[in-house]
């Protein structure tokens, strides 16, 4: 008899608001440097309040490394953005660097994020296999290029497969069994919805213009048309985002497993859309002050709709910590310096 375990979230918008505002204040006062410490505190709050079977998550990253990572990434981004102003080759160089380093960045970033994430004081981890990463992303790149982007779903699946099936919790490895076709179905549906939205938008605005002509003053007509376009186009974009997020999360979570533990996600596009749409309105009309409330709401919805299935609760006690690889050696200290955080 398998048992269901809910993901519980204990945080609330009130507490989170205070953490957020103090983070913002200190970031402003330190001219942005504190943003790395703010990120850690923010994550510690969200992770720590997320519980499965009475065990908490934690985020243990060193803010100094996050700062270094941000500086390096910022430098490359500036080169890409403004380099061409100085010499045309600089922007190109930044892009080439990014492409060549991408598989390395994926591995390094995943190692950093996962080794600094714990559940019940046991660390997550990621493979050190750079060769596999280069192989995987070369193939994914070729698939995309040769199909002129049409087979993007299969490349994306390779990416998800690589990042998930190379992750560990303690000494146990995750498994992932979705196929490119599953992802393709989602992307294809997104395309159809996009078309549908464009057609609806044209019908609604056109219809409204036809009905309203002559009924309201000439000055008001353009405003009504503009407002309708804005609201429906905005809602359309939010709907596609909601569809994309819920379907991908459901697929990825349901296709993953970890040594006798299965995951079940049942996010609904309609519900997710309602939350995103009201969040956007709340943030705009509160001039950003309701941002923490909006984030908590979204996180809570995700937690409430994800479950774990395991034989019994003892299973969660039996994971064994992987010894830190090569603790204390000089080579690892050098490698360690290059472990930095990358947020995509």
Partner 1 sequence: MKIKGYFYDGKTSKRHKATLWVQGDVIEVHREGEATLSYPKSEVQVEGRIANLPQTLRFFDQALFETKEYDKVLKIHPHENWKKLLHAIEDRWAFIVPALCFSAVVCYLVYQSLLPVMAEQMAQRLPGKVSEYMQDSTLTLLEREDFLQKTQLKPSEKERMKKLFEDLTANYESIDFELKMAATEKMGPNAFALPAGRIYFTDSLYELLKENPGEIQAVLLHEMGHVVHKHGLKAAVQQAGLYFFLSFVVGLGDWSTLSLVLLSSSYSRDMEREADEFAAKELKARGLEPLLLGRALEKMEDERKKKKKLEIPSWISTHPGTNERIKSLKKQ
Instruction: State which of residues 6, 41, 244, 299 lies at the interface with partner 1 (CB under 8 A).
Output: 41
Contact between residue 265 and residue 305 where contact means Cβ atoms under 8 Å apart: yes
Instruction: State which of residues 6, 13, 63, 120 lies at the interface with partner 1 (CB under 8 A).
Output: 120
In the bound state with partner 1, the residue whose beta carbon lies nearer, of 112 and 316, is 316
Q: Which residues pair with 177 in a beta bridge?
A: none
Contact between residue 14 and residue 21 where contact means Cβ atoms under 8 Å apart: no
What one-character-per-residue DSSP string does 47-85 give?
HHTEEETTEEEEE---HHHHHHHHHHHHHHHHHHHHHHH
Instruction: State which of residues 6, 8, 9, 27 lies at the interface with partner 1 (CB under 8 A).
Output: 27
Strand, coil or helix: 262: strand
Instruction: State which of residues 71, 99, 216, 226 lies at the interface with partner 1 (CB under 8 A).
Output: 226
Instruction: State which of residues 6, 8, 9, 44 lies at the interface with partner 1 (CB under 8 A).
Output: 44
Q: Using CA atoms, how far apart are residues 70 and 27, in angstroms rounded to an integer?
A: 14
Binding of partner 1 at residue 245 (CB under 8 A)? Answer: no
Binding of partner 1 at residue 49 (CB under 8 A)? Answer: yes
Q: Using CA atoms, how far apart are residues 116 and 124, in angstroms rounded to an integer?
A: 7
Binding mask 151-180 toward partner 1 (x if CB under 8 A, else -) reads: -------------------x----------
Binding of partner 1 at residue 316 (CB under 8 A)? Answer: yes
Strand, coil or helix: 28: helix
Binding of partner 1 at residue 191 (CB under 8 A)? Answer: no
Residues near 124 by beta carbon (within 8 Å), at least 6 away in sequence: 114, 115, 117, 118, 167, 168, 169
In the bound state with partner 1, the residue whose beta carbon lies nearer, of 120 and 159, is 120
Helices (H), 255-316: 269-285, 291-304
Which window, 125-133, 143-151, 157-165, 223-231, contacts partner 1 (CB under 8 A)? 223-231
Contact between residue 283 and residue 291 where contact means Cβ atoms under 8 Å apart: yes
CB of 193 to partner 1, least distance (A): 20
In the bound state with partner 1, the residue whose beta carbon lies nearer, of 132 and 315, is 315
Binding residues for partner 1, per CB under 8 A? Answer: 10-11, 15-16, 18-25, 27-28, 32, 35, 38, 41-42, 44-45, 48-49, 54-56, 58, 81, 84-86, 119-122, 170, 218, 221-223, 225-226, 229, 280, 283-284, 288, 291, 316-321
């Amino acid at each position: 008899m398998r048992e269901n375990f809910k993901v519980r979230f204990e945080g609330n918008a009130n507490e989170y608001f205070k953490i957020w505002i103090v983070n913002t204040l200190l970031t402003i006062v330190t001219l942005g440097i504190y943003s790395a410490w703010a990120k850690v505190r923010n994550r510690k709050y969200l992770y720590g309040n997320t519980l499965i079977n009475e065990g908490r998550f934690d985020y243990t990253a060193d803010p100094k490394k996050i700062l270094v990572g941000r500086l390096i990434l910022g430098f490359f981004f500036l080169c890409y953005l403004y380099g061409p102003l100085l010499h045309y080759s600089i922007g190109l160089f930044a892009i080439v660097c990014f492409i060549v380093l991408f598989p390395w960045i994926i591995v390094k970033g995943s190692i950093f994020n996962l080794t600094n994430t714990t559940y019940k004081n046991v660390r997550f981890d990621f493979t050190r296999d750079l060769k596999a990463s280069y192989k995987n992303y070369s193939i994914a790149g070729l698939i995309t290029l040769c199909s002129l982007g049409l087979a993007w779903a299969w490349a994306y699946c390779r990416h998800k497969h690589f990042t998930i099936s190379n992750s560990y919790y303690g000494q146990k490895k995750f498994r992932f069994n979705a196929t490119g076709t599953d992802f393709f179905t989602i992307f294809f549906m997104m395309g159809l919805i996009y078309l549908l939205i464009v057609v609806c938008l044209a019908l609604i605005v056109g219809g409204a213009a036809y009905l309203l002509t002559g009924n309201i003053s000439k000055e008001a007509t353009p405003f009504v048309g503009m407002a309708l376009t804005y609201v429906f186009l905005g809602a359309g974009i939010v709907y596609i985002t909601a569809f994309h997020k819920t379907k991908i999360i459901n697929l990825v979570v349901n296709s993953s497993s970890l040594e006798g533990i299965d995951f079940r996600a049942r996010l609904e596009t309609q519900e997710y859309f309602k939350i995103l749409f009201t969040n956007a309105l709340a943030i705009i009309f509160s001039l950003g002050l309701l941002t923490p409330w909006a984030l908590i709401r979204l996180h809570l919805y995700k937690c409430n709709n994800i479950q774990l299935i395991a034989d019994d609760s003892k299973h969660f006690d039996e994971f064994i910590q992987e010894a830190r690889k090569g603790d204390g050696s000089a080579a690892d200290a050098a490698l360690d310096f290059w472990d930095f955080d990358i947020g995509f």
